[in-house]
């Protein structure tokens, strides 16, 4: 199912843990996604969003090198791009405007993240 939902889709990955970022990139590419990133810094994530008018989905680590990812989440929300959050933080740390967004609690495998993202994409396509 993930393969059908992610095939050919441009997926932004914002993750500052190198090993997880690389493994996630590989898992998404294995499902046919075109990965933008991984990007480890908020400023670079914001620039990438600005440079790519066509982003189909995103995986955002809540904390990128000490900076919270909320400005990027806000931009993606404004554009109607489905995304999910990866985090070790509790749900209460997520601003209310993003409380509805799927959270993948770390530790989590890249394959589990890819499956969760496919469900998000499918849910948005059905809406």
Q: Which pLDDT band, with edges at 50, 70 and 90, does 126 fall under?
A: low
Confidence (pLDDT) at 123? 83
DSSP per position, 22-73: HHHHHHHHHTT-EEEEEE-SHHHHHHHHHH-S---EEEEESEETTEESHHHH
Task: Tell me the HSE value of 12 on the side-chain side, using a 13 A CA sphere.
Answer: 32
Please, are residues 86 and 113 in contact by the beta-carbon 8 Å criterion? yes
Residue 84 has pLDDT above 70, yes or no: yes
Q: What is the pLDDT of residues 2-19, one digit of tens each?
A: 557 799 999 999 999 999
pTM of the complete model: 0.94
Q: What is the pLDDT of residues 19-70, one digit of tens each?
A: 999 999 999 999 999 999 999 999 999 999 999 999 999 999 999 999 999 9
Averaged pLDDT for residues 81-103: 94
Averaged pLDDT for residues 85-108: 93
Confidence (pLDDT) at 1? 46
CATH of region 2-126, choose from 3.40.50.2300, 3.40.50.300, 3.90.1170.50, 3.30.2130.10: 3.40.50.2300
Q: What is the pLDDT of residues 110-122, one digit of tens each?
A: 999 999 999 999 8
């Amino acid at each position: 199912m993930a393969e059908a939902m992610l095939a050919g889709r441009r997926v932004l990955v914002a993750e500052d843990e190198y090993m997880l970022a690389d493994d996630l990139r590989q898992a998404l590419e294995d499902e046919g996604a075109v990965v933008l990133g991984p990007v480890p810094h908020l400023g670079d994530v914001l620039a990438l969003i600005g440079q790519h008018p066509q982003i189909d989905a995103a995986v955002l680590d809540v904390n990128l090198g000490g900076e919270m990812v909320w400005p990027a989440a806000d931009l993606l929300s404004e554009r109607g791009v489905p995304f999910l959050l990866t985090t070790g933080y509790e749900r209460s740390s997520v601003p209310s405007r993003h409380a509805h967004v799927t959270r993948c609690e770390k530790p989590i495998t890249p394959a589990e993240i890819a499956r969760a993202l496919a469900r998000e994409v499918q849910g948005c396509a059905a809406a």
